[in-house]
Amino acid sequence: MTTPAYRGVVLAAGGSRRFAGPLAKQLVEIDGEPAVRRAARRALESRLDRVVVVTGHVADEVGRAIAGLAVDPVHNPDWRQGQSGSVRAGLGAVSGGAAAVVFMPCDQPFLTADLIDRLIARHAAGGALIVVPAWRGRRGAPVLVDDALFAELATITGDAGARQLFARHPVVEVALDDETPLLDFDSVSELRALLGRVSRL
Domain ranges of the chain: 5-199
Q: How confident is the model at residue 179 (pLDDT cuts 50, 70, 90)?
A: very high
Cα dihedral value 118, 123, 128, 134, nearest 10:
10
pLDDT tens digits, 89-134? 999 999 999 999 999 999 999 999 999 999 999 999 999 999 999 9
Average of per-residue pLDDT across 56-65: 96
Residue 198: pLDDT over 70: no
Q: Is the dihedral of CA 159, 162, 168, 173 positive or negative?
A: negative
Average of per-residue pLDDT across 141-156: 97
At 201 the pLDDT is 40
pTM of the model: 0.94
CATH of 5-199, one of 3.40.50.150, 3.90.700.10, 3.90.550.10, 2.40.50.140: 3.90.550.10
